[in-house]
Amino acid sequence: MIQQCRKPDDEADSLVLPALNLFNNSSVSIIHLDEMNFLRNRLVVLGLVLLATLLLYLLLPSIRQGNMEPSLEAQKKGQMATPPPPPLQASNVSIRTGQLPGDPPLFFREALPVDGAGRQILPRLQVVLLHGQAFTSNTWEELGTLALLATNGYQALAMDLPGYGKSPDSEALKTDQNRVDLLSRFMESLGVRAAVLLSPSMSGHYSIPFLMKNSAQLHGFIPIAPVGTRSYTPQQYQNIQTPTLIVFGALDTNLGAQSHKNLIQLPHHFVLKLEGARHACYMDKPREFHQGLIDFLSKLK
């Protein structure tokens, strides 16, 4: 009886064991499949992250800025990707070039004022234009600024600063006074009296000391995010009576914001903030810059 009772159990065991083995094999297969799906999903996510990083690297390099003036590549890159719109009321104006002797010789471009018929007239004011580190006097010709000034009755003189464009470098320009003397020589040699001095960026090494020492010789001052504004006290700024148009780009959070903070201490100032513009804001927004320039000049007596 005992044997007869155990025999069915043995048969049941023989049926259950293969079933358990089949179940275990299926579980292993399911686990392997889940692991493969998990790894595949992780690879997809990693690929998307790498792609997004690459796109950010390619699209956003131009917004990075240094501690002082942006590098030459940063200033030049993308500035002239599309030609600027034609300047206000500009026409065919004759622009002559010349070079003043001295140490160093100074190359310049000049546009004389003309009336609506193109006839030369006496200037309303004389405007001297300096330039930033990545540019030269030719920038103001290509942008149409020289022609614009001439057709609005102003004499425009754009200089290549020493070591830039066609003006050789010189060891005799290591001090503020040396640079002030150079600007004085340039203006006196060309018969400029009571000029309006326009000065972007790096040229602040020349214009800011000149403003502090010889402000009585200036009819107006147009700093465009210049260097060197932190070197002077609030009282020194408040002593300056020269009408000033402070220009900077809204995206220039370095020199633009810094120079604006210091220059607004000048008692007779106006501000031209160019929205959507970077450090060389006159290149990004030439029409708005030119309009602000002419508006400011028209206010000067």
Question: What is each CA distance from 170 to 8, 161, 182, in whole angstroms?
Answer: 112, 10, 11
Helices (H), 110-233: 137-142, 145-151, 176-189, 204-214
User: From the centroid of its chain, how far is CA 213?
Assistant: 28
Q: What is the DSSP letter of 114?
A: B
**How far apart (Å, rounded) are the C-alpha atoms in residues 277 and 286?**
10
Given the residues 137, 167, 199, 201, the one annotated as active site: 201
Given the residues 131, 205, 269, 279, the one annotated as active site: 279
Give the closest residue to 243 by CA, choosing from 208, 261, 218. 218
Q: Taking the CA atoms of the chain, what radius of gyration do you get in angstroms?
A: 35
What is the CB neighbour count within 10 angstroms for residue 24? 10
**How far apart (Å, rounded) are the C-alpha atoms in residues 157 and 97?**
10
Q: Give the bridge partners for 158, in sequence order.
A: 109, 129
Q: Rounded to the nearest 5°, which phi and psi values hold at 78?
A: 80, -5
Question: Contact at 8 Å (CB) between 126 and 158?
Answer: no
* 252 labelled catalytic: yes
Give the pair of three-digit tokens for residue 231. 């070197």
Number of helical (H) and strand (E) elements in the chain, helices listed first: 10, 8
Given the residues 203, 207, 252, 290, the one annotated as active site: 252
Question: Contact at 8 Å (CB) between 170 and 126?
Answer: no
Coil vs helix vs strand at 105: coil
Q: Which residues are known catalytic residues?
A: 201, 252, 279
